[in-house]
Amino acid sequence: MLVAVTEVITTLAEAESRFHLTRTEGDSFFPEWHTDLPALTEIEKSGLAEMRRRYLYQRSLGHLLENTVTLLFASPLLTLAGFYDPPFILKAEKSVQLVLEDSEEVLQGRLDVLVLSEQIWVIVLESKKTALSVWSALPQTLAYLMANPQIDKPSFALMTNGDNSVFVKLSRAQGGLYNFSRVFATLTSIHELQAVLQSLKQLSTILLEEK
């Protein structure tokens, strides 16, 4: 029986229970989002400033819908991080299915954006409208990361509502451990946005090296 992910996995407790996940706060589990980050070029800094200017203008007019957040915020970020260039492959609105253990249910969902290098998932992007907390995306983001066919490799995601952004890492090879980054408050300053781009570039480099 096909069931929508958003109907079944609505809380963090449900995601942890259904997929046997455990959060770890160990410093060594998720250093990728903050350790040895690459420097940004002046072109990248300029691109971020222009992107932020547009976002702040539209945001000042009211809350933004999910598709608008993707268009104004997420897509320019992926562009600057190089995810629209070789060897990456972009798949928007990617459909995935998950078969739960000891259940006749098959969870079906749709990723906002999936970036691949060949068949290796590089990053999942899950966006929400600005009226919702970025944390509201965590349960379904964990579900989508469980759909990664590369079980032996860690999975990464970027959750964003434009105002705030959070990175997530899940390792099925380590028994379903996961953790997330600090909240990047991109409305607060350009430096927060620069840090998000640095983390994205770091993830792309690391995962390509592990191919």
Written as tens digits, the pLDDT of the chain (211 aa) is 677 777 778 899 999 999 999 999 998 999 999 999 999 999 999 999 999 999 999 999 999 999 899 999 999 999 999 999 998 998 887 777 776 665 667 777 777 888 887 666 777 888 888 888 999 999 999 998 998 888 898 999 999 999 999 999 999 999 999 999 999 998 899 999 999 999 999 998 887 776 5
Per the CB < 8 A criterion, the answer to whether 37 and 101 are in contact is no
> Closest Cα partner for 200 from 16, 42, 49, 34?
34
The fold for domain 2-209 equals: tt1808, chain A (3.90.1570)
What does the pLDDT read at residue 22? 98
Give the single-character DSSP code of 201. H
Phi, psi dihedral angles at 70 (to 5 degrees): -65, -45
* 184 DSSP β-pair partners: 165
**Per-residue buried b or exposed e for 30-49, using 16+ beta carbons within 10 Å of the residue's own CB:** bebbeeebeebeeebbebbe
Per the CB < 8 A criterion, the answer to whether 186 and 164 are in contact is yes
